[in-house]
Amino acid sequence: MAAENNNNVVQVSDLPVKRPREEEQDGGENGATDTLSTLSNHSQHPGISAVIPGWFSEISPMWPGEAHSLKVEKILFEGKSDYQNVMVFQSSTYGKVLVLDGVIQLTERDECAYQEMITHLPLCSIPNPRKVLVIGGGDGGVLREIARYSSVEKIDICEIDKMVVEVSKQFFPDVAVGFEDPRVTLNIGDGVAFLKAVEEGTYDAVIVDSSDPIGPAQELFEKPFFASVARALRPGGVVCTQAESIWLHMDIIEGIVANCRQVFKGSVNYAWTTVPTYPSGMIGFMLCSTEGPTVDFKNPVYSIDEDDSQHSTRPLKFYNSELHSAAFCLPSFAKRAIGSKAN
Amino acid sequence: MAAENNNNVVQVSDLPVKRPREEEQDGGENGATDTLSTLSNHSQHPGISAVIPGWFSEISPMWPGEAHSLKVEKILFEGKSDYQNVMVFQSSTYGKVLVLDGVIQLTERDECAYQEMITHLPLCSIPNPRKVLVIGGGDGGVLREIARYSSVEKIDICEIDKMVVEVSKQFFPDVAVGFEDPRVTLNIGDGVAFLKAVEEGTYDAVIVDSSDPIGPAQELFEKPFFASVARALRPGGVVCTQAESIWLHMDIIEGIVANCRQVFKGSVNYAWTTVPTYPSGMIGFMLCSTEGPTVDFKNPVYSIDEDDSQHSTRPLKFYNSELHSAAFCLPSFAKRAIGSKAN
């Protein structure tokens, strides 16, 4: 397991980033040098955002001109998988943080919001889900949430990057606990290929817990992928995919919605929630159903928050039925852009 | 007007911040120096967050261990009023930005969310508001939103800091346009004193558009202030106050809710919305009513979004009736903390 290789564990001070002062000396008289970007560009870890001494800064062409920074107590792991750079650090106020290709995937402090919403929005919208597929989701958090449903018999997960699974098991036990459920089968491989091999109509629900559409997850935002998902779902089955931020990526979202509208012949809806450590402080979800029994995503048929009191393990921190319905209410600018394409 | 004094306009390169490289040389072997905080501490502008070359970073003891940064194209204004540091800069992707004591107050890109929600949540909850008071709100954005109501006859505003008004008029004409409405009377002074002098039962609604409870706005989060607001409202009148983030300041929020519960004998509710450039990407609002005709905040009695089509000036960008109701749906962790205190 890569995480056990101490050669991969580096301290902040070991990182070969270029410091602003050096850059200023290089750059001559222009004091307004683009420091953070410069750090990023000069890093010997392409794709990893700069770690200025003591802080991690998330910089990406996906959200130009802004950066969210977390104070680093200690970098716990840094490695390069076949697909991406993987980093874990202990932050001073958000707990441990998982970073892929320089982008924050989860923090212990706010992971509940994303994991609970991406799971319960689709699963509370259909009665008695039995077979569920997760594409991506290698940290195990979505599995943990699916495991709350006693109706579920089979949970398949297809994660492309083994290192994400291993690192999560080592550093995020409260998230990766999802892998321990006996109903889970882990497949390491390409989600697109996995879906093509799946028998038609297999799943009640598919949850696509992907990173951004730059890097290994790019295909997961394209039409052929959505068609494979639709094929793998039973009639009236549901899919929920990570679908970016209405503040930052309305163009991407409009494309996703248009694709889904063509592929999914049931309902097509957009929802969102607050996640402080994601760019713009929020994340959206695309919720679609295939032709068959009607799915009214805005009005959940199952109240897991009420039933949840029976589970002594881990009460829901974030999701509840009221918030479920509220998540589909969009600001006017987003409603105008998405509204005509969704229903 | 201070903004016309060129001595107050500085370029990024003129700012006397300490660069990380210098700090590292000072600090000896510890590569993990708290760079951003150091920059802030060494700044000769106390209270202003560090501007590392080319970027503005928002750092505050109110949200330790994290910082949101915006890329700076040009600093347009920097001054020190009797109350706080005032800065305006042109950002590369969020338009112009107003900063008070190092904390972002508004950006042109996302100001619609805050201004529309803090105004229409209270005003759409009562029929035909006639007299409205704004405490704070010196940028004029709340005034702009109040002006949409044809029922409103009188809009009083009491802003403590004249410089905020002047700077907003100069740099944010699309926000400060609110001052141009003939129904507006601007009072420069202390909101607490203003309220004490107000005749009992004067207003249908009071909107408290304050900065954080560190600095000049501190009193606006305390019980005597709420009592003055209640006194100034008619029976069944409403107040909406800026009320921090459930992710960062649940302790402050619980205190505000408890205070309001004692002071306001009608409804007491908490709502929230997304604002990317506020800490944790969201902001909350406290909505209360005085004893009298019942106010059901969650179900607005007036649909300004539908009526808005009549106004040719500036369509609502953010608020709508659906989002109004949704704003009162809280994540479970917040519901548990606030729920027992609000209704």
| CATH number of the structural domain spanning residue A88 | 2.30.140.10
> What pLDDT, on a 0 to 100 scale, did the predictor assign at position A222?
87
* Count of domains observed in chain A: 2
**Same domain for B257 and B122:** yes
Across the range A323-328, mean pLDDT stands at: 98
**Same domain for B144 and B287:** yes
Residue B273 lies in a domain: yes
Partner-chain contact A54 B32, CB within 8 Å = yes
Partner-chain contact B71 A34, CB within 8 Å = yes
Q: Which domain holds residue A70?
A: 48-107
pLDDT class for A41, splitting at 50, 70, 90? very low
DSSP-derived 3-state class of residue B12: helix
Residue A35 lies in a domain: no
Across the range B91-99, mean pLDDT stands at: 96
Report whether A175 contacts A338 (CB < 8 A): no
Residue B3 lies in a domain: no
Q: Which of A99, A101, A72, A97 is nearest to A85 (CA)?
A: A101
> What pLDDT, on a 0 to 100 scale, did the predictor assign at position A168?
98
**Same domain for A210 and A69:** no
Tell me the per-residue pLDDT of A139-150, one tens digit each, with 9 for 90 and over. Answer: 999 999 999 999
> What pLDDT, on a 0 to 100 scale, did the predictor assign at position A60?
85
Residue A3 lies in a domain: no
Pairing of the two strands A131-136 and A103-107: unpaired
**Same domain for B208 and B103:** no
pLDDT higher than 60, residue A14: no
pLDDT class for B306, splitting at 50, 70, 90? low
Instruction: Mark which of A83, A107, A131 sits at the end of a domain.
Output: A107
Partners of residue B155 on adjacent β-strands: B132, B184
d(CA B295, CA B300): 9
Partner-chain contact A329 B323, CB within 8 Å = yes
pLDDT class for B220, splitting at 50, 70, 90? confident
> What pLDDT, on a 0 to 100 scale, did the predictor assign at position B310?
54
**Same domain for A177 and A199:** yes
Q: Which residues of B touch A245 (CB under 8 A)?
A: 276
Residues 25 through 84 of chain A touching chain B, CB cutoff 8 Å: 30-36, 52-55, 57, 63-72
Residue A13 lies in a domain: no
Q: How far is B147 from chain A (nearest CA, A)?
A: 19
pLDDT class for A157, splitting at 50, 70, 90? very high
Across the range A184-193, mean pLDDT stands at: 96
Percent of chain A's residues with pLDDT above 90: 71
pLDDT class for A311, splitting at 50, 70, 90? low
Q: Which residues of A touch B31 (CB under 8 A)?
A: 11-14, 53
Q: What is the largest CA-CA distance in chain A?
A: 67
Q: Give the CATH number for residue B333.
A: 3.40.50.150
Say which of A35, A69, A113 has its CB closest to residue B66.
A69
- Enumerate residues 6+ apart whose C-beta is below 8 A from B28: none
**Same domain for A68 and A201:** no
pLDDT higher than 80, residue A206: yes
**Same domain for B208 and B100:** no
d(CA A85, CA B244): 35
pLDDT class for B49, splitting at 50, 70, 90? very low
Partner-chain contact B305 A281, CB within 8 Å = no
- Kindly indicate whether the ipTM for this predicted assembly is greater than 0.90, answering yes or no: no
Looking at every residue in chain B, the average pLDDT score rounds to 84
pLDDT higher than 50, residue B260: yes
Q: Which residues of A touch B93 (CB under 8 A)?
A: 63-66
**Same domain for A186 and A128:** yes
Please identify which residue in the block is written with the tokens 């163009």: A251
**Same domain for A116 and A93:** no
**A209 catalytic, yes or no?**
yes
**Same domain for A100 and A87:** yes
Lowest-pLDDT choice from A62-76, A180-194, A203-217: A203-217
pTM: 0.86
